[in-house]
Amino acid sequence: MTLYVSILSAAAVLAAAAACVDAWRFMGIWTGRIRIGRWRDRRAWQDALARKAAAWLKRMPAVPKKDQGRLVLWDMLRGAYADAAIQGWQLGGLSLGLNAYAGDRNDGGLKEKLRDALGRHELVVNYLERENPGTWEVDRMLLDYAVLEAGCGGEDRLMEKSLAFLESLKTEAGTLAYRRGQPAVRYVDTIGLACPLAAACAARTGREEYWNLAARQVEEYDAALLAGSSFPAHGFEMDRGYPLGLYDWSRGIGWYALGLCELYRLMEAHGRPEAGAMAKRIVSLSRELLPLRKRNGGFGWMVARPESVFESSGTALMGLLMLEAYRISGEPCFLEAAFGAEKALMGVTRRNGALDMCQGDTKGIGMYSDVWGLMPFAQGMALRLSVELNREERKE
């Protein structure tokens, strides 16, 4: 009888603890959205984004693997709440934004803080200590790129690891697979996650094959563009050429845009002939997106559906695309769109500087999240967009 009572008591305690965790998360979201979007001053908003991003360097909020908001404690105890793959690109995006902000403000102290935090972070330390690059997936490549961009110490060692990592993901087609177990399937994510790293490695080592790899990865994806359009499908099957997933998924277009913009920037800076082709892609995609903006200046999670929910990560990435299109073409409509995206992002930022309304992690092709909340990656991309717009504002 005593044992029975003890078991029931333990179960009741665990059930109460799980309920408390779920309630705490719900209340945190609800209270965080009180007086959301009251930002009017661009610089004050940038400072708030940067303060929150800097705080997250120490303890970054996890982006959950699942959409469910119940029994979260059980997932945490089982180690099924989040994983390193998701956190890798979260930290990468956050770091790129903070690095841009530190440069805009000439804040050497923040740059050093960022370098120190990245050098000590377990995702970087564990990566450098492991001998086998086959234990990692494409998801973390944006973090490697961010570490190189930040100018952290030990660049030669990281470069060696990154080159081995890129080689380990090459398939018979000579391009990179998103998942090692799916060598004949390409995801649009790879263009935003891996191509900037390949180009950065080429720029630092002088090895021509990595410029070619980055360009070929983009060109290969032409097979997955919507007919007569610049919109990429979420993925495609190489053997039969079947497109997979949505063409107008906001973050998918954003991944494509990020890859194009970073490649153009690096290729243009190093006098690469491929830069012209990237520029044409950027302007073409931007022009097609212009009429699909929401009234607030941003984009829905399905950009071609006016009724789809506004989504922050895709809006930040497409804002960067619009800004690059303006710098290439000089057409004011693109700069106006970039400022419009920034304004939309200000409208979904909480009082404490945390950007809200980011779609949760995608579970696979065709399995899109229905949860909207915080995402460190989007925080960094929004910050990067805004401080990049400062350069254009100063020219006026």
pLDDT score, position 66: 64
CA distance 130 to 65: 24
User: 343-361 as b/e, with b when 16 or more CB fall inside 10 Å?
Assistant: bbbbbbbbeebbbbbbbbb
CB 241 within 8 A of CB 221: no
Q: Which long-range contacts (CB under 8 A, 24 or more apart) does 148-152 make?
A: 148/197, 148/200, 148/204, 149/95, 149/96, 149/99, 149/200, 150/95, 150/99, 150/111, 150/114, 150/115, 150/118, 151/111, 151/115, 152/115, 152/118, 152/119
In this prediction, residue 79 carries a pLDDT of 55
> pLDDT: is 164 or 78 the higher one?
164
Give the model's pLDDT for residue 62.
Answer: 79
Q: Pairing mode, if any, of strands 372-373 and 242-244?
A: unpaired
pLDDT for 129: 83
Integer Cα distance of 173 and 180 in angstroms: 13
* pLDDT-based confidence at residue 15 (cuts at 50, 70, 90): low
In the block, residue with structure tokens 């979904």? 348
Can you name the residues that pair with 237 across neighbouring β-strands?
Answer: 185, 242
Question: Do the Cβ atoms of 260 and 281 come closer than 8 Å?
Answer: yes
Please tell me the distance from the alpha carbon of residue 89 to that of residue 396, in angstroms, as a whole number: 34
**Residue 220 pLDDT > 60:** yes
Which two tokens mark 23?
A: 């309630």
pLDDT of residue 27: 64
The identity of residue 1, as a single letter, is: M
Task: Compute the residue count for the chain.
Answer: 396
So what's the pLDDT on residue 58? Answer: 87
Q: How far is CA 185 from the centre of its chain?
A: 21
Where helices occur in 272-331 by DSSP H, the ranges are 275-289, 312-329
Q: How far apart are CA 264 and CA 279, in angstroms?
A: 6
Whole-number average pLDDT of the chain:
90
- The pLDDT of 2-6, averaged and rounded, is 59
pLDDT higher for 83 or 153?
153
- Give me 92's structure tokens: 């990468």
Query: Which residues contact residue 233 at a Cβ distance below 8 angstroms, ignoring those fewer than 6 apart?
Result: 188, 224, 225, 226, 243, 244, 245, 246, 247, 252
The pLDDT, as a whole number, for residue 186 is 96
Percentage of residues of the chain with pLDDT beyond 70:
87
Does residue 13 have a pLDDT over 60?
no
pLDDT (mean) for 202-209 = 95
- Among 78-87, 99-108, 227-236, 349-358, the least confident range: 78-87
d(Cα 389, Cα 392) in Å, to the nearest integer? 5
Question: Are 114 and 150 contacting, i.e. CB atoms less than 8 angstroms apart?
Answer: yes
In angstroms, rounded to a whole number, what is the distance separating the alpha carbons of residues 9 and 281? 63
pLDDT tens for each residue of 18-64? 456 555 555 656 688 898 999 999 999 999 999 999 999 988 987 77
Predicted pLDDT at 299: 98
Summarised one tens digit per residue, pLDDT across range 334-385 is 999 999 999 999 999 999 999 999 999 888 888 999 999 999 999 999 999 9
For the cut 60, the answer to whether the pLDDT of residue 67 exceeds it is: no
pLDDT of residue 75: 56
Q: What is the pLDDT of residues 309-320, one digit of tens each?
A: 999 999 999 999
